[in-house]
């Protein structure tokens, strides 16, 4: 409690060239408070939205790259730095309006999304499963984005 931790948002393009990503996260604002968004090292070169809405429990991020886009795995999109407010087990999840747009025709190719759980304890913050940094991953083409422990 009172500790900060980072959540990395990473992207696997699934063999598609993509140009725009909207990664919109939701969280319990009683348990967590986002402190900042770190875009250093991101593959994104143009940011349209970089918004922390602490009263709504949302982090809204939209960014793009010029044509021809990118087609790689494990791309860093952004890091969100959270403050743990109280002991609890909580979820950080992608909202339904998250999207990954294919560069050739601007069609959203993001599949379904699932979340993961972090535990805020008196002694600190840990992912419920595995070890490391919670890492939301966006994977287009029917794959499942997850918010989970990194490596």
Residues 6+ apart with CB under 8 A from 98: 22, 23, 24, 110, 113, 138, 145
For 93-121, write each residue's pLDDT tens digit: 899 899 999 999 999 988 756 556 677 77
In contact, 5 and 127? CB cutoff 8 Å: no
CA dihedral over 64, 65, 71, 77, signed as positive or negative: negative
pLDDT at 2: 76
Average pLDDT of the segment spanning 139-151: 38
pLDDT at 72: 92
Q: Return the bridge partners of 23, or none.
A: 61
Sheet holding 32-38, edge to edge: 32-38, 75-84, 4-11, 134-138, 146-149
Residue 48 or residue 10, greater confidence: 48
For 56-73, write each residue's pLDDT tens digit: 899 999 999 999 999 998
pLDDT band at 127 (very low <50, low <70, confident <90, very high): low
> pTM score, two decimals?
0.80
Residue 105 CA from chain centroid, whole number:
24
The tokens of 39 are what? 């875009």
């Amino acid at each position: 409690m009172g500790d900060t931790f980072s959540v990395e948002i990473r992207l696997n393009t699934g063999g598609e060239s993509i140009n725009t990503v909207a990664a919109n996260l939701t969280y319990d604002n009683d348990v967590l408070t986002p402190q900042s968004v770190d875009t250093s090292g991101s593959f994104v070169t143009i940011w349209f939205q970089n918004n922390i809405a602490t009263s709504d429990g949302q982090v809204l991020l939209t960014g793009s790259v010029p044509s021809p886009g990118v087609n790689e795995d494990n791309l860093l999109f952004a890091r969100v730095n959270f403050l743990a407010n109280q002991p609890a087990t909580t979820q950080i999840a992608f909202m339904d309006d998250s999207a990954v747009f294919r560069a050739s025709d601007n069609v959203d190719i993001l599949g379904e999304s699932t979340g993961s759980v972090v535990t805020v304890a008196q002694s600190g913050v840990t992912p419920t499963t595995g070890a490391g940094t919670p890492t939301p991953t966006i994977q287009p083409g029917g794959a499942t984005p997850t918010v989970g422990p990194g490596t």
